[in-house]
Amino acid sequence: MLRLTKKADYGLMALKYLAEQANGTAHSAKDIAEAYHIPPQLLAKILQTLAKGGLLVSHAGTNGGYALARPAADISAFEVIRTIDGPLFITSCITIHGACDLTSTCTIKEPLRKVNDSIKELLSGIHIADLVEAADGEQSETGAPVGGGLVSIAI
């Protein structure tokens, strides 16, 4: 079973929270952390990472906080995960630097690449707006379970 890191899970939850706020005003890391019982310092770092990645905008000042940089329908789960955790690879044989030492004799690299590509495609098809619409544990248009809590993909 593949699992998202806690940071990626918290990042998705934070963007879902911000998407639910119809008025588009900025919300503090503290407000989001309290809503989902997330450690505030950890969430603050995650939100900073998402802002640096262009998924959130940060507003300073008394009424400052974070807001979505784009509409929730335009931000994919894959973008959030990639921004927080870096490139998605299910095995160490497929890396950002190329292939491993066993590439010439490996018989499973192509099937694993297909699995990796399928996961990337699935996560790219789930948007923050889907998480809001499926908040009651429903399924997104892709049929993937979405909503609060740790997102898991069973293989």
- What residue spans define the domains of the chain? 2-87+128-153
Give domain 2-87+128-153's CATH number out of 3.30.70.1090, 3.40.50.300, 2.40.40.20, 1.10.10.10: 1.10.10.10
Fill in the amino acid letter for 145: P
105-138 confidence digits (pLDDT tens): 778 777 888 888 898 999 999 999 999 876 655 4
Q: State both tokens at 146.
A: 């979405």
Span 130-151, mean pLDDT?
54
Examine the pLDDT at 18 and tell me if it is beyond 80: yes
Alpha helices in the chain (DSSP H): 6-20, 29-36, 40-52, 77-85, 109-124, 128-133
142, 122 Cβ separation under 8 angstroms: yes
pTM of the model: 0.77
Sorted by sequence, the CB contacts under 8 Å of residue 103 that are 6+ apart come out as: 93, 109
Q: What are phi and psi of 17, to 5 degrees?
A: -60, -50
